[in-house]
Amino acid sequence: MNEPGLTPNRTTDDDLGGFSKASFLRRQLPFLAVLILAIGGVAYSNISRQPLVGYWEFLALAVGVVCVVTEWTGLEEKQARVRLIWTQALHWVAVLIAMNVMLLSNVQQHIPTLATSLTLLILLALGTFLAGLSLLSPQICFLGFALALAVPAISWLKQSMLFLTLAVIFLIGLGLIFWLSRGEGRSAKDR
């Protein structure tokens, strides 16, 4: 069927420069997983009303591993890879120290329990963004930016839930008043 010297017309990820949808999603999966885990951690903390200290420390270490793993393939020299490991290890140890400073009992006395998770998330976001800057990785920078945006979004959602609940109650009450007054108007006409 094929003439000699001609190959079938197949496109692969390499032919497209590695930009197929499946390839793109596979490369973004670690970043999406971290974002989902961070938002889930804040949601759980807000529901349980307890800070998840070990969870945030684990997540900071996980982001450090994601930083190393995603940048590893771009480095060919052993010395560059060792430097990557050491700089990321020191960077994330500093983030962990900052998180643990926030969790000291003297500091915790001044911060409400519900704010602790948001504080730890903003420290994680800052650490992630700065790691992305040092690695010149737009994906890691964007992850840090998205984590930072999650802090006001979660706060807004918490506040707006009360507002939305009050608005629904108000609309139901208003509907009942109109429905009852309409019913009274009909009964007065019937007399």
What does pTM read for this prediction? 0.69
Quote the domain boundaries for residue 32: 21-154
Identify whether 99 is part of a domain: yes
The pLDDT value recorded for residue 16 is 46
Residue 42 has pLDDT above 60, yes or no: yes
Long-range CB contact pairs, 45-52, < 8 A, 24+: 45/114, 45/116, 45/117, 46/114, 46/117, 46/154, 46/158, 49/113, 49/114, 50/113, 51/103, 51/113, 51/116, 51/117, 51/120, 52/117
Identify whether 1 is part of a domain: no
Residue 12 has pLDDT above 50, yes or no: no
Identify whether 16 is part of a domain: no
What's the rounded Cα separation, in Å, for the pair 121 and 151?
7
Identify whether 44 is part of a domain: yes
Number of structural domains, the chain? 1
Most confident among 1-15, 108-122, 148-162, 175-189 (mean pLDDT): 108-122
What's the rounded Cα separation, in Å, for the pair 88 and 91?
5
Identify whether 33 is part of a domain: yes
Grade residue 36 by pLDDT with cuts at 50, 70 and 90: confident
Identify whether 187 is part of a domain: no
Least confident segment among 28-32, 172-176, 186-190: 186-190
